[in-house]
Structure 1
């Protein structure tokens, strides 16, 4: 029996974290028994991925006001109980479809770091029935400003794709740290190189020297620029660190082979996709603590944050945590991955979304 009909509108042009959250919302609701339609920007990564997941729905060329007639026509044919909006022009366009639940997602870095002017924020959200956020920190920020319900639901990950691979664990013959994500100043590679250099100085000489691997494609930093940052810290590529660019096909297996995952970002990390993926692969985290990262550490086995520590103290903590991590058994890794499933799976996300929607539908919307 269907729970209802949900319509996802997402105008994102890129495969961003918000696009990931929109797709996960659709897939999670479908797992919970909802009929789901996904309307993305025509020929965008989000639209292509939605069709690969067999999510039906017409795309839009730009979500401009000129498409209001198409929007109303589709709304009439789909008959949604809830419409999800992800912050682009679709949020304005949705003013043309009253008398339905309109749920606005907020999960950008500026939502955590910038001042939220109460009047402007309320005006921008006045046509929305509720606000969906990926973390408790955003729930607390918006709850103090808005009249609408604020629903905190963490991102759900496909556990069929991201899970612990016992055969991969232990493949690296030395203690291994990994940083995964685009090469960008916001990801904090330069600062972490300094911490890693101090780790190498602290590491006992009778133990095998650790390895840092960075996996990512160039964005606002090129591979050559990253290499110069490492050279400035007297790190030697191929000896104590290495770089892998391009797409990784067996990502879950590579993650599972990691002793300790590092999220070194200096900002952003509001949705925390990579942190959750590592945990589902059984890998503990060493995180900078920006954004919502510390909310991923819901179990004491999930790792630690070095927020607020000096580089020297962070290196000391990293030395301790890496040594602990590289001595773990497969059973410990499997237990961590299982614990993560109870928090970060699509099934859990779907149940939480469905429960929140039931609460909203029990009330009469003001549209």
Structure 2
């Protein structure tokens, strides 16, 4: 089988990683020939972005029980071959559209770190034919608990927006590290400042000194708080590090002008959007290893993890990897970007989701 109609229901109120996955799934399936409808909360970030991508579908003020009649009416109108649910109240509400192939997504931090109660997990899956997860670590966890098949499909990234810019890479003059993401304690900036300070101490004097750039808007840490953290580690802004507390245009070019991308998070990172974006821009990774980050290192050229290392050993490894990365050629970057595109593009995500849905429609979930 090929093609069909998919209906994505996502009640997420925020522009979170799960919202990103839902939107990417919709775009990926459409690229693979599916007709896709997207229904989110009215005027939520997900709904607004769906409209910007020209994804049709009625929105919901909420996904409470009073919306069950509207859900049934839309289901009759859309006549979907598959409904994808993203774990909020829409997942319960979907019980009221029987005789429909329903797939539930799971991909939160607690799905990796918390104990999964078998009975509750199975009850929440009773009306679904399969579970969709963004990483193999979750596939392995859930397939030992639920009776339905579990499919792992990595997030797909728009390779028309994120790709290697050789001219930006050619402009890099100092070995450059970048951290991209909101300013939040979970992102691990403070711990990484300590590691970076040791890198500066270890760095050979006959080489250009490394430079760290952090890009992100304040969330649970303000830009001023982050600057104080850096000062506490004797880092001097403008000399060996810089903060850009803003949204950055032409982000693919900025990423390409990076020798080594750092994902220093202390938790979360189950969906790994930023890691994949850097890889599509040809940039190797230096990751903390939380969540499913190490699954992004499936190609030997994709980078290194410092999970479980002391700060001193992590600094030693980073010193080595940053220098290696700074000596790479344009062709090495291009090869990495192409390898990443084969794994993490919207096109690849669409093919894998289609394989899953076709198998479920045919009644052969293990195909």
Match of 1:109 in 2: 109
Give me the whole-angstrom Cα distance separating, in 1, the residues matched to 2:149 and 2:100: 15
Query: CA offsets per residue over residues 316-363 of structure 1, 9 Å max, x none?
Result: 000000000000011100000000011000110001010111111111
Paired residues, what number? 365
CA deviations on 1:222-271 (whole Å, 9 max, x unpaired) are: 11110111011010011000000111111000000000000000000000
The aligned counterpart of 2:10 is 10
Secondary structure at the aligned position of 1:167 is classed as: helix
Look up the SS of the partner of 1:83 in the other structure. Answer: strand
Unaligned stretches of 5+ residues in structure 2: none
Once residues 51 and 2 of structure 1 are traced to their aligned partners in structure 2, the CA distance between those partners, rounded to angstroms, is 25
Tell me, yes or no, if structure 1 residue 297 matches structure 2 residue 287. no
Asked whether the 8 Å contact 2:2–2:354 carries over to 1, the reply is no
1:35 counterpart residue number: 35
Q: Which residue of 1 aligns with 2:203?
A: 203
Q: Which residue of 2 aligns with 1:246?
A: 246
TM superposition score normalised by structure 2: 0.98
SS in 1 for 2:317: helix
Deviations 1:122-179 (A, max 9, x none): 1111111110000000000000000011000000000000000011003231110000
* Whole-angstrom CA distance in 2 between matches of 1:15 and 1:319: 35
CA distance in 2, matches of 1:29, 1:7: 10
Root mean square deviation of aligned Cα: 1.1
Give structure 1 regions of 4+ aligned residues with deviation exceeding 2 angstroms.
none
Matches within 5 A, 1:173-212: 173-212=173-212
How far has the Cα of 1:78 moved from its partner?
Answer: 0.2
Q: Would you say the 8 A contact 1:182–1:216 is kept in 2?
A: yes
Contact residue 282 and residue 333 of structure 2 kept, 8 A? yes
Distance 2:232 2:65 in 1: 51
Q: When the two structures are superposed, what TM-score results if normalisation uses the length of structure 1?
A: 0.98
Match of 1:146 in 2: 146
Instruction: Report the CA distance between 1:364 and its aligned residue.
Output: 8.4
> Which digits, 9 at most, give the CA deviation of each residue in 1:77-107, with x for residues without a partner?
0000100000111001101001011110000
Given that residues 2 and 35 in structure 1 are in contact (C-alpha distance below 8 angstroms), is that contact kept between their aligned partners in structure 2? no
The answer for the alignment partner of 1:71 in structure 2 is 71
Aligned to 1:60: 60
Unaligned runs of 5+ in 1: none
- Distance in 2 (CA, whole Å) between partners of 1:349 and 1:340 is 12
- Residue 214 of structure 1 corresponds to which residue in structure 2? 214
Q: Equivalent residue of 1:338, what SS?
A: helix
Q: Distance in 1 between matches of 2:137 and 2:339?
A: 22
Q: Which residue of 1 aligns with 2:23?
A: 23
1:87 aligned onto 2:87: yes
